[in-house]
Chains A and B, each alone.
Chain A
Amino acid sequence: AQKITQTQPGMFVQEKEAVTLDCTYDTSDQSYGLFWYKQPSSGEMIFLIYQGSYDEQNATEGRYSLNFQKARKSANLVISASQLGDSAMYFCAMRELRGSTLGRLYFGRGTQLTVWP
């Protein structure tokens, strides 16, 4: 079974609007971390935001916020006030914090976001 599912291969948003990128995850662990990365065409993976499974508050980093719904196992990324420079591939990832897979990130297939003026 897929550990991370991103159901939106592509998303379009107008500049200055907000956009939500979906991510659902699958784990039986109680302790895990969720990450979002941005990958522009240059290839570098840029860390955006992190949410721990025990964090009670949704994580926020500037224009990025993570809508964490633990019971639904979803960790959607919300980008407010989109900018043209936000156009990139976005990846959701998870690390299980115990067990034999400690240290490994599981990635979704990504969502290609295009911001238009």
Chain B
Amino acid sequence: KAGVTQTPRYLIKTRGQQVTLSCSPISGHRSVSWYQQTPGQGLQFLFEYFSETQRNKGNFPGRFSGRQFSNSRSEMNVSTLELGDSALYLCASSLAGGAASSEQYFGPGTRLTVT
């Protein structure tokens, strides 16, 4: 079965612009989580969606938002980009994100550079 896919893989944006990243989970997986990875802060949780509802949110400003569609695909949006938003954005999918979820697989990531 196909793995988690993320598009685009690389992105260069200018400060002040906005960006939308996409994640398609493994078929049958209903939970999608997003993480930001930077050298300074490590891996930080952004948010998690399950059945089109945001179930969890990390400590990020409101410029970071997301959504999930009925086919479980998810998008995250960052508005008014700042230099500090440069990072690897990773998406993870799991069946339910709960007790039964020993599976939590990540996509290849989107590397965002803000100039």
Q: In whole angstroms, what is the CA distance A67 to B5 when docked?
A: 32
Query: Shortest beta-carbon distance, A75 to chain B, in Å?
Result: 14
Query: What is the CA–CA distance of A49 and B113 in the complex, to the nearest angstrom?
Result: 31
User: Is A100 in contact with chain B by the CB < 8 A criterion?
Assistant: yes
Whether A44 and B43, one on each chain, are in contact in the complex, defined by CB atoms closer than 8 angstroms, is: no
Chain B interface extent, by class: 20 to 34
The CA-CA distance from A104 to B107 in the complex, in Å, is 16
In the complex, A98 Cα to B99 Cα: how many Å? 8
Which residues of B sit under 8 angstroms from A107, Cβ to Cβ? 35, 42-43
A35–B97 CA distance with the chains assembled, in angstroms = 13
Q: Kindly report which residue of chain B lies nearest to residue A33, judged by CB atoms.
A: B102
Question: Are B106 and A47 in touch, CB under 8 angstroms?
Answer: yes
CA separation between A85 and B46, bound complex, in Å? 30
Cα separation A102 to B108 with both chains bound (whole Å)? 23
Taking the nearest CB of chain B, how far is it from the CB of A43, in angstroms? 5
Q: A28 within 8 Å of B by Cβ?
A: no
Mark A residues whose CB is within 8 Å of B: 31, 33, 35, 37, 42-47, 50, 52, 91, 95, 97-98, 100-110
**Chain B residues proximal to chain A, CB less than 8 Å:** 31, 33, 35, 42-43, 45, 48, 50, 55-56, 58, 88, 90, 92, 94, 97-99, 101-109, 111
CB-defined A-B contacts under 8 Å, sample of 10: A31-B99, A33-B101, A43-B108, A43-B111, A95-B97, A103-B55, A103-B56, A105-B45, A107-B43, A108-B42
